[in-house]
Structure 1
Amino acid sequence: MRDLRRRAAEQLREAGVASPERDADLLLAHVLGVGLGRLPLADGLDEAQLAAYDALLERRARREPLQHLTGTAAFRHVELAVGPGVFVPRPETELLAGWAIEQALACDGAPVVVDLCTGSGAIAAAVKDEVPHAEVHAVELSPEAHAWARRNLTDVDLRLGDAFAAFDDLAGTVDVVVCNPPYIPLEAWESVAVEARDHDPHLALFSGDDGLDAMRLLEARAALLLRPGGVVGAEHADLQGESAPAVFVASGRWRDVRDHADLAGRARYLTARLAR
């Protein structure tokens, strides 16, 4: 088993996979149907399991996302079903979800939370899991991604449609708007990781020449949805730590506009409060 894991990690490393040891072990645990912590106790693979493992390694070496191979993605305390047609949630987005959860918990009564561009439903699912008394709404434009969100969300008002024209019925009543919009500039195509560029929906990745087209639409929609004093949070690219918040500052509708770093110290998401 030790040699098998070493050879598998080397295969993924040569293919340019960013975390070869962990991915090799996660795929092995998936084949064996055990948790990572039990791998050292495993005796070995039978012939069918070895064939399945080799096939998964080949696909991962071709840079197919790990989550597509296992069919799941962990996000805070929930496990999401994911696959082709939906954006795979990233660990850094858990920080934005955590902010939304904190804001919801700080509200009196049952908070109203709206997740725009929900994708797999990751943020909406996390909010409902950790703030079960919240009234959570989510919307996704892509029918393929919407189908995945439907699998992942329970007790959430999930809609199919344009996030930046949705929820007119909630105008002026929402406590928290949260969004992980597309934010990659079109000119940055070559710099995008193969796993995202070749497998994530482009609708969830790219947003105009400067990457801020969706952010501008979000600013206007959040201003319509939120009650006075309500808050919005939105993820952005690490190079947009000034330009993304500037979208909200420029409109004059917001106060307490600030940016937040991720655990690596990179600019990651903005928050703002609708002026009364």
Structure 2
Amino acid sequence: MTRVRTQAEKLLEGATATLTHAGVASPVADAQWLLCHVLGVPRAMLHRASVGGPQRDAYLELVDARARRFPLQHLVGSAAFRYVEVEVGPGVFVPRPETELLAGWAIDQVRDAEAPVVVELCAGSGAISLAIVHEVPQARVHAVELDLPAFEWAAHNLSGTGVDLRLGDMADSFNDLDGAVDVVVANPPYIPLDAWESVAPEARDHDPALSLWSGDDGLDAMRVVERVARRLLRTGGVVGVEHADAQGESAPAVFVDRWHDVRDHRDLADRPRFVTATR
């Protein structure tokens, strides 16, 4: 006997088809997360959940927005990052899963230290700093963000954590910490200016321009990070910086002349993802 599909299952099927047609990379998961958001239930409960008229209308509006390539995280208002969650929306870069590896590297450098000093450059939503203080509560974390709307999101996400968040240009930030920092970590802008067409609409049309573009080769901000990290770090301190998968050679090259143990690290898809080096 054929089982009768629930209203939730019918909604999910239609939403998945809509998102697939729109070119969304993960249509099944996105359709599910949006319905979870509207109904306030975990994914395991979706197929048995009842859907009222107002909830159905709200869901279809969200699916339409997602099909127009509004970021999923903007629609649900938050993004998961390691063991924490940050609120996000228009005006701030949405943290990506790949960056969790960089945050994990930074955490591993200071996990067993007594009172390590960590600086995050280009803080965006504050996700990396929040993950560090969550997993290494004894760390003294400082962060800086240039873009005012992003700074306001970070200030909200880091409120009450003890993170020293500052508004300003990373190039001349934290002069009071020169030579006293154990780890510098950054996810700077790294997309070349001529790569517009290759960037997903979710990022190109909704992430702040300051968080995306970085000169003709995508490494202008990386060069600033190199100079600032060299000034901030103590001897033996380390820096970790995310880069595009096409920069697996050019990003480490920024560090080779003045740093030790320059290494590139790959992400879970085995693509070059971040460079580390020792002062």
Q: State the TM-score, normalized to the length of structure 1.
A: 0.97
Query: Residue 86 in 1 paired to residue 95 in 2?
Result: no
Which of 48, 65, 70 is the aligned partner of 1:59?
Answer: 65
What's 2:157 paired with?
A: 152
Please state whether the residue corresponding to 1:95 is helix, strand or coil: helix
Q: CA RMSD in A?
A: 0.7
Please state whether the residue corresponding to 1:73 is helix, strand or coil: strand
* Cα distance in 1 between the residues matched to 2:175 and 2:225: 14
Q: Structure 1 runs of 4+ off > 4 angstroms?
A: none
Whichever residue aligns with residue 56 of structure 2, its letter is L
* Cα distance in 2 between the residues matched to 1:213 and 1:79: 30
Aligned residues: 270
What's 2:206 paired with?
A: 199
Query: Residue 187 in 1 paired to residue 186 in 2?
Result: no
* Cα distance in 2 between the residues matched to 1:187 and 1:24: 33
Name stretches of at least 5 consecutive residues in structure 1 with no aligned partner.
none
* Cα distance in 2 between the residues matched to 1:165 and 1:201: 21
Query: Residue 177 in 1 paired to residue 184 in 2?
Result: yes
* Cα distance in 2 between the residues matched to 1:40 and 1:178: 42
Which of 6, 16, 25 is the aligned partner of 2:13?
Answer: 6
Query: Residue 73 in 1 paired to residue 76 in 2?
Result: no
* Cα distance in 2 between the residues matched to 1:131 and 1:25: 33
Whichever residue aligns with residue 148 of structure 1, its letter is W
Whichever residue aligns with residue 117 of structure 1, its letter is C
Q: Give the superposition deviation at 1:106.
A: 4.1
What's 2:43 paired with?
A: 36
Q: Give the superposition deviation at 1:41.
A: 2.7
What's 1:221 paired with?
A: 228
Please state whether the residue corresponding to 2:182 is helix, strand or coil: strand
Please state whether the residue corresponding to 1:258 is helix, strand or coil: strand
- Report 1:86-105 matches (<5 A): 86-105=92-111
Q: Give the superposition deviation at 1:163.
A: 1.3
What's 2:27 paired with?
A: 20
Q: Give the superposition deviation at 1:132.
A: 0.4
Query: Residue 210 in 1 paired to residue 184 in 2?
Result: no
What's 1:131 paired with?
A: 136
Whichever residue aligns with residue 257 of structure 1, its letter is V
Per-residue CA deviation, residues 14-54 of structure 1 (Å, 9 max, x unaligned), is 01111000000000000001122221331x21011011001
Whichever residue aligns with residue 188 of structure 2, its letter is P
Q: State the TM-score, normalized to the length of structure 2.
A: 0.96
Whichever residue aligns with residue 140 of structure 1, its letter is E
Please state whether the residue corresponding to 2:255 is helix, strand or coil: helix
* Cα distance in 2 between the residues matched to 1:164 and 1:197: 25
What's 1:113 paired with?
A: 118
Which of 53, 56, 72 is the aligned partner of 1:47?
Answer: 53
* Cα distance in 1 between the residues matched to 2:79 and 2:111: 25
Please state whether the residue corresponding to 2:61 is helix, strand or coil: helix
